[in-house]
Chain A
C-alpha cells in the first residue's frame, strides 16, 4: 500500500518534530520544510498528496505557498493551513486563495490527523 506523501511546512522544529512523529506513526510519508523557500524547492521537484503548512514562515508565508500552488503550479492538491488563534484575516485570505482546511494553534495532533485523512479521502488522486 502506497504511503501518502505529506509536506509539512513548519518553522517550529519542536512542533514539527512532534507532528512529524505523529503523522509518520499514522502512516504518512512526511517531508518537513522549515521555511517557504524549502517548500518551493520541494514543490518544484514534485507535488505531494497533501500540504500542511503554517501561515507564518520565513521567506514565504503560507499564503504565498497556497498562491504558488494554485496559480503557478495550477495544482488542486489539498492544503491545510495552521494558524495562530486570532489570525482571522490570514485564514480568510488563505481560504480565498484556495486553502482546503484550517487548524489553529495550539494544534491537536489527533485533530490534524482526522483533517488530513478527510481531505485525502475527498481527493484520492493528486494532480
Chain B
C-alpha cells in the first residue's frame, strides 16, 4: 500500500530528483520575492519580455565560449534598456515597444540557434530541464539565486517605496534611477538563475503567481513576502514530486500547482476571496432592508 509519505519520499531516493527538488525550491524562493515587487509595480510583463529575450544571449555566449549565464544576463538586460530607449525616443507605446523588442530578440535567437551547431537542446532552454541539472548547475543556480535574494532582502524597503510611490521615494532622497536599474538587474539575474528549472516560457508564471496569491491574502507587505515564498516553495516541491509520478514536464507541473494555489486563494481567501465577497453582498441586502424598515 502506498502512503502519502511513500508518495513523497520515493522519488527522492534518486539523486537527480534530490537535485531537481533543491533547484526548484531555490528558484521558487527567489522568484517569489521578486514577484511581490513586480505585481505591485505592474511589471509582470517585463518579466515575460526579459525571459524571452535571453535566447540570443545564450546562443552567442555559446559561440564565443563564455558562460551561458553571462550571455543570458547581458541579453536580458539589453532588452530592458533597449525598450526604455526606444520608448523615450519614439511615439510608440511602451507595451508595443516591449513586444517588438522581445519578440525580435527571441526570433533572432531562434535563427541563430538553427544556424549555429550547439550542444544545447532548444527544448531545455524553452521549457527547462530541472531533472537534468548537474552539481555544477546546482551550484551556479544557488550562487545567483542566493546573491539576488540577499540584495533584495537587504534593500527591500527602498525597493518597496520605489515600487509604490516613485515620487515619494525621490522626495525623501532615495536614488530612484539606481533603484529602477537595480530592480531590472535583479530581475534579469533572477531569470538567469531560474532558466534551468522552468525555461524561458514558463518563467513569467513563477514571477507573477506567488506575488498575486499573496496579495489576495494580506494587506501588509512584510507579510506578503513570507506568504509568497511559502506558497511558491511548497508548490515547487509538490509540483516536482507530482511530475515524477505522472511522468509530465516538471516546469509545467510546478506552474500548474501554483495556479491551483492561486485559484484556491481566489475562491476562499478570508478577506478578498470570492465566497466571502459573495456572502458579504448577500448578507448586506437583507440587513439593509431591515434597517430601511
The answer to whether A binds B is no
